[in-house]
Amino acid sequence: MSNKNTRGWRLLAMLLALAMMAAACGSDVTDAVDGATDAAGDAVDDATDAAGDAVDDATDAAGDAVDDAMGDDDAMAACEGMDDVTLQLQWFAQSQFAGYYAAVAEGFYEARCLNVTIEEGGVDIVPQQQLGSGAADYAISWVPKALGSRAEGIDIVNVAQIFQRSGTLQVSFKDSGISGPGDFSGKNIGSWGYGNEFELLAGAHKAGLDESADFTIVGQNFDMLALINGEIDAAQAMTYNEYAQVLETINPDTGELFTADDLTVIDWNEEGTAMLQDAIWADGTKLGDAAYDDQTTRFIAASMEGWMWCRDNADACVNHVLDAGSTLGATHQTWQLNEINKLIWPSAGGIGVMDQGLWDQTITVATGEGVLAEAPDAEAFTTQYADEAINLLGDSDTTGDSWSPVTVVLTEGGE
């Protein structure tokens, strides 16, 4: 009996030890999170100092934008406490979201009395659901996807249309002879699915082709291996990500990187079936509440400052993005920011202001392809907050008419 007795106690002691280790580990996780928050806080402080220094340099191109921010800072020296704001992204940290990271790092949010936390996306995290559930205050989402959620009853409103163009391409090798959607006939056409296929389907329908009879839609991973292996004839690719990945890959036949000359691209903006992508969405149930309205305007204004800063200080901006993820490649993210800038600038009506024509085109494609059963109501987007934000920004260059893209040379692996 005594033997069994000690064994029983030993088992209990083991369990207790496990539980204590768990508690220790649990607090470890919390500590790590705390540490990260502190680090982020420090980074913001440093960045604010840096922004302050930059103001001194009146000849700096960024001077104007920062100047305005600091001007407001003076006006808001009596910040009556900071508003905590959570922004939900659609995916991991990358230059696609550079403007928001820069606005945190350069202190643009802080200058407008906002304490912004950026939540990265995950495979199953739907930004508009995070927004609807109250877990986030604002979310970045593509227009057709967000409108789908809105049609399902999540009251979200497009308050700033950041990207004015679609970044989706259909990429194929030159020898496949696909130069437009009309050439899809008899081919295997890759798509990520999950709502990413509608620009391409609309383009094909426009060319008189039908996916059930004339060509095959093939499910595609988020890498470009299927195209390189020849399993599909044309692959879906974002200008700022997957397209660059092809150019960062060694062509097994030549031992050199693939080049743009090896590829043909179909750009849905040119085909007239492009749909609007990244926009800032707000909680429709809270809009109209004075405090949330004011916070929304300030959030958009500071985000715009972030994007303008990234337009005018691309290299420094990429560094802020790289700081947000340890596996990000520098040349890939530099390429990505350049392509993102192309999607934003020029913004004819000012950054964030909806282009009615592109909205209408998005709705036409979405209803035509059955993404939406009917056109959304007039409250689905508003330019009120973007307009007010632009007013706050004074004479900053919110249209970016004079901006021109640079040429980024990609390296193997995008490092």
Partner 1 sequence: MTSPSLDPIRFGKPAYIYRGLQQVGMILLGIALLVAMWEGYKAFGAWTDGTWPGTERELPVPSDNLNMPHSYDIVKQLFEPVTRRADETLFSFLFKSAWFTFKMAFLGFVIGTIVGLALAVVMLRSSWLERGLVPWINVSQTIPLIALAPLVVTWGRGSFLSDTQSVAVIAAYLTFFPVAVNGLAGLKSPDAQALELMRSFAAPWSKTLFKLRFPAARPYLFPAFRLAAALSVVGTIVGEISAGVKGGVGRVVLDYAGKYSTGPERLYGSILAAAALGLFVFGIITLAEKILMRGQVGGNA
Chain residues binding partner 1 by CB under 8 A are: 1, 4-5, 7-8, 10-12, 14-15, 18-19, 21-22, 25-26, 28-30, 32-33, 92, 119-126, 129-130, 133-135, 221-225, 228-229, 245-246, 248-250, 252, 322, 325-330, 332, 412-415
Closest to partner 1 by CB, 67 vs 119, is: 119
Q: What angle do CA 374, 380, 381 make, to 5 degrees?
A: 135
As measured in angstroms, the least distance from the Cβ of 271 to partner 1 is 26
Helix-helix angle 63-75:2-56, to 10 degrees: 110
As measured in angstroms, the least distance from the Cβ of 409 to partner 1 is 14
Closest to partner 1 by CB, 157 vs 246, is: 246
Question: How far is 32 from 36, CA to CA, in rounded Å?
Answer: 6
Strand partners, 140: 280
As measured in angstroms, the least distance from the Cβ of 6 to partner 1 is 10
Closest CA to 241 of 171, 175, 158, 304: 171
Closest to partner 1 by CB, 276 vs 328, is: 328
CA atoms lying within 13 Å on the CB side of residue 92 = 10
For 105, residues 6+ apart whose C-beta sits below 8 A from its C-beta are 43, 44, 47, 320, 323
Order of all β-strands in the sheet with 216-219: 216-219, 188-191, 234-238, 168-173, 263-267
Question: How far is 348 from 90, CA to CA, in rounded Å?
Answer: 25
Question: How far is 256 from 277, CA to CA, in rounded Å?
Answer: 34
Instruction: Report residue 324 CA to chain centroid gap.
Output: 14
As measured in angstroms, the least distance from the Cβ of 15 to partner 1 is 8
Query: Among all chains, which residue has been given the structure tokens 């659609």?
Result: 90
As measured in angstroms, the least distance from the Cβ of 33 to partner 1 is 6
Question: How far is 63 from 67, CA to CA, in rounded Å?
Answer: 6
What stretches of 130-177 adopt beta strand conformation (E)? 138-141, 156-160, 168-173
Question: Which ranges of 183-255 would DSSP assign to H, the alpha helix?
Answer: 198-206, 225-228, 242-247
CB atoms within 10 A of CB 251: 13
Closest to partner 1 by CB, 33 vs 79, is: 33
As measured in angstroms, the least distance from the Cβ of 93 to partner 1 is 8
Closest CA to 224 of 216, 236, 214: 236
Closest to partner 1 by CB, 337 vs 389, is: 337
Closest to partner 1 by CB, 89 vs 102, is: 89
As measured in angstroms, the least distance from the Cβ of 326 to partner 1 is 6
As measured in angstroms, the least distance from the Cβ of 233 to partner 1 is 17
Closest to partner 1 by CB, 41 vs 208, is: 41
Q: What is the CA radius of gyration of the chain?
A: 24
Closest to partner 1 by CB, 325 vs 368, is: 325
The DSSP secondary-structure symbol of 175 reads G
Closest to partner 1 by CB, 237 vs 371, is: 237
Question: How far is 303 from 299, CA to CA, in rounded Å?
Answer: 6
As measured in angstroms, the least distance from the Cβ of 25 to partner 1 is 5
As measured in angstroms, the least distance from the Cβ of 387 to partner 1 is 32
The amino acid that residue 202 corresponds to is A
Closest to partner 1 by CB, 325 vs 346, is: 325
As measured in angstroms, the least distance from the Cβ of 140 to partner 1 is 13
Closest to partner 1 by CB, 57 vs 231, is: 231
